[in-house]
Amino acid sequence: MDVFGSFALLLAFICAVFAFAGGIAAIITRHPLLVKSTRQAGIATCCLIFVATFSLEYLFFSDNFSAAYVVAHSNRALATFYKIAALWAGQEGSLLFWSFLLSIYVFSVLIAYRNKNGELMPYVGVILAGVQIFFLTLNNFVASPFKALAVPGAHGAMDLVARGDGNGLTPLLQYPEMVIHPPNLYSGYTGFTIPFAFALAALLARYPGEKWIHLTRKWTMIAWGFQTAGILLGAHWAYAVLGWGGYWGWDPVENASLLPWLTGTAFLHSVMMQEKRGMMKVWNVWLVFSTFLLCILGTFLTRSGVVSSVHAFAQSSIGSWFVGFLVVIFTVCLVAYFKNRDYLKSENQLDAIVSRESSFLFNNLILLVSCIAVLSGTLFPVLSEALSGSKISVGAPFFNKVNIPIGLLLLFLTGVGPLLAWRKTSVESLKRNFAWPLIVGVVAGAVIFVLGYREIYSLICFSLCFFVTATIAMEFYRGAKVIRVRSGASYLTSAIELTMRNTRRYGGYIVHMGMVLIFIGLAGAAFNQNVQKEMQPGSSMQLGKYKLVLQSFDSKPEANYTGLRLNVEVFVNNKPLMMLYPERRIFETNGETGTMVAIYSTLREDLYVVYAGQSPDTKLPVIHAYLNPLVKWIWFGGVIVVFGTLVALLPNRRAVLVLSGAKQPVPEPLVHGMTPSATFREGHD
């Protein structure tokens, strides 16, 4: 199966080269047969990559310990669930996994548009094949996952060997999130290849109008949804597994996943400017280019170890390949832009400072500032070494100082932007739309202040959360009222009907609502508390309203680790609440340790208890307990964001009005995102 897999990969490489070179020839000659055959070569490339990936999984499932990659990342005792995850546990496999996910996208695009957009698709095919060639080069010639296990034998030759059992999967990865977090994040990274390919193709082909934006909107949303889910799952994994009490540490690899998310979010918003007003064309093209470049940069940072990180894989030579690829893409984008920039002329100008346009501009500006701050902070050791010779890193205070105000500004715009009219917003409409939300926000802020929560950023954040929630609620209420008047259905049914009629707009509001919940959770971090204490059985520690009593500790041998477990009883007001079992696991295969955090999670706060280690003097266990308010809202908000993204992906339901007998005009097929009914107010989307 290893020979089969590597052969499939080699064949995939050849097909991709044909799809690329033949595609260029097809663009020049416009020969229909050549167009068709290169498309089929593209499809074949994807299928062969699927075959290769499945053969690597087969090696894992058949416990084939003659394959080096399987020996390194699996063993017989490993649960089936984690044998799937072992695919992306190391460098070679995760690069193959990149190719695999990219192929799913490429395959879908090539099939879905096989008889459409004839002018554009050959360009798209060539660009996608180009990206695939890069990853297939790595898969085939630089980091092949199908290498046989070999040891240096006599006469300097390598002898093939097979082992009885493998090294096993790193214990930190043996956690359910680790099975779903990387696929989500990678699906985000790879997914942005599609809008990138369409944008570059449209620019190269001078494809008329905003059609590429309509074509790629769904793909961008899918990639964005995966990226968001991937980032949050990663944060949850860090929180639940690493045992340091937090979920985000501004680690280089975390930052790498945030960067394309920031530009991708900016892109999702600014394309609306182009659709509605024909503005920001250059900006949009460069945003999507940057997003893709940042995706590759993110993969590069994870793989190369250029910036030291908890995630970074061993130092390896693979970095130079990525740098080369980044340079090539950037050059291609730059040349395409300078050659065809007249095609990107803006049709309109900014009309007024209080308008939807300017809210989008500011949204984009601050997302970009955040992106630049995070990027420069992440690369600071590299940049400072190159510029001044001394290697300097920056830590959390740098990132927080910039990004907290940016987050609050964004939150503010989340509430304001969607309710501003295009071109110019009148004072009356400002009053009508914002009077109540403003009152809600200010009152909520005052109440929170009186309750004694006076951390300034958190106070502003909570106040803004109420404000934004009120604006969103008002939007649903007003729209639902109109439908209710006509159909007589309940408010809830009307709101659902409203959402289904314009999924893009109301799905967007749901995403915004999810972000509000996430912000509530983030603001809670200002009130985190923690205590650390050496405990003997019977002794206790107090944290907020919780009293933790160590009842006993024991050690329990399990299949492939020994678990050192603390039995901690939790009391509230001297009434027993529950037992928590923080644990340390010592893995036999490699002596590594793993922390199993015990969390008691409520909407109000998380009680987070870690077995931090043993005191060297007394050999007694040390407990580190954290009280983290509102953390659960982050995960809950994440679910809402993903749900909203899915809603926004649904096609609009046409307005079918239930006026019996009366002849209804058949609604025109809707232009993207336009509201069918004139009863919705001025220029809303």
Partner 1 sequence: MKKQAKFGIGVTVIVVSMAFLAWLGYGESKTYYHTIAELQTLHGSDLSHRIRVGGTVAPGSIRRFTGRVDFVLDGEGKSLPVSYVGSDPLPDTFVDKSQALVEGRETDGRFVAEVVQAKCASKYEAAPGGTVATPSTATR
Residues that bind partner 1 (CB under 8 A): 68-69, 71-73, 89-92, 143, 147, 167, 170, 172-173, 244, 305, 310-314, 316, 350-353, 358, 361-362, 365-366, 369, 373, 381, 390-402, 405-406, 409, 532, 590-593, 612-617, 622, 624
Q: How would you label 86-101 residue by residue, b for 16+ Cβ within 10 Å and e otherwise? A: bbbbbbbbbbbbbbbb
Please state, as a whole number, how many other Cβ atoms lie within 10 Å of the Cβ of residue 237: 20
Comparison of 4 and 313: residue with beta carbon closer to partner 1: 313
CA nearest to 535, candidates 623, 625, 607, 626: 623
What one-character DSSP code corresponds to residue 87?
G
Minimum CB separation of residue 232 from partner 1 in Å reads: 20
For partner 1, the closer of residues 323 and 620 by Cβ is: 620
DSSP state of 454: -
CB of 100 to partner 1, least distance (A): 18
C-alpha–C-alpha distance, residues 563 and 585, integer Å: 4
Nearer to partner 1, 339 or 401 (CB): 401
| Minimum CB distance to partner 1, residue 369 (Å) | 5
Smallest distance from partner 1 to CB 544, Å: 19
**Shortest Å, Cβ 308 to partner 1:** 8
The nearer residue to partner 1, 292 or 399, going by C-beta atoms, is 399
21-32 burial: b if 16+ Cβ within 10 Å, else e: ebbbbbbeeeee
CA–CA dist 589, 212 (Å, integer): 52
Q: Please give the single-letter amino acid code of residue 481.
A: K
Half-sphere exposure of 374 (CA within 13 A, CB side): 28
Closest CB to partner 1 among 170 and 227? 170
Q: At 338, is the secondary structure helix, strand, or coil? A: helix
Interatomic CA distance for residues 463 and 459, integer angstroms: 6
**498-501 — which CB contacts under 8 Å span 24+ positions?**
499/647, 500/650, 500/652, 500/653, 501/652, 501/653, 501/654, 501/655, 501/675, 501/676, 501/677
Nearer to partner 1, 9 or 409 (CB): 409
* Pairing status of strand 540-543 against strand 561-572: unpaired
What one-character-per-residue DSSP string does 217-286 give? HHHHHHHHHHHHHHHHHHHHHIIIII-SS-S----HHHHHHHHHHHHHHHHHHHHHHHHHH---HHHHHH
Nearest distance from residue 303's CB to partner 1, in Å?
8
| Least distance between partner 1 and beta carbon 101 (Å) | 19
Nearer to partner 1, 407 or 637 (CB): 407
Q: What's the closest the beta carbon of residue 351 comes to partner 1, in angstroms?
A: 7
Backbone torsions φ then ψ of 291, nearest 5 degrees: -60, -45
Look at residues 256, 221, 242 and name the one whose alpha carbon lies nearest to residue 177. Answer: 242
Specify the residue, 271 or 367, whose C-beta has the smaller distance to partner 1. 367
Nearer to partner 1, 169 or 336 (CB): 169
Q: How far is the CB of 596 from partner 1 (least distance, A)?
A: 14
